[in-house]
Amino acid sequence: MKAAPSGPGRVRVLDYVAAVTVTAGGQALRLGGVALPNRRLVLRWLRRQALRLADAHGHHLSPPAPWLGARDARPVTFHGSDAPEALRAWAGDHGSQDHAMSALESGRPALLTVVDPFVGLRVTLGAWPVDLCGWVTAASASRPYTPRTETEEG
């Protein structure tokens, strides 16, 4: 996890998560996801998934990257070429990548949704920061922490 300043003298811990989901007929299914220590790695993972999904259109899917192993998203069958082309365009557009990086840097999610209009299939690639330190602080403010101690019975 990466520590980033959050006001004078305070530090907050950031971790980033990314996921690929598909929605069809009102049902959502997660195809894959990761938690990574910085936004550059998260965007690298999302670009790879976008290209893998686009390149799998009409072909066999490439094997997972050795550095990611089995965390690659499962493939989707598209019925037209609109969604794969939109995925390729997003992955290759430096302006889109800069916009996603800025969103993550400011604490907002970076999302891309493409639609296969022939069947109403929606594929969403998303990443967002997770402020674990802030979450722990907020949780402990509402419920005081009492340390557990072990006692010997004898």
Tens of pLDDT, residue by residue over 30-89, are 999 999 999 999 999 999 999 999 988 766 655 655 655 557 888 888 888 899 999 999
Q: Which pTM does this prediction carry?
A: 0.72
Helix ranges (H only) for the chain are 39-55, 82-92, 94-105, 132-142
Q: How far apart are CA 2 and CA 147, in angstroms?
A: 26
Length in residues, the chain: 154
The model's pLDDT over 124-149, given as tens digits with 9 standing for 90+, comes to 999 999 976 655 445 445 554 444 44
Of the listed ranges 16-20, 97-101, 150-154, the least confidently predicted one is 150-154
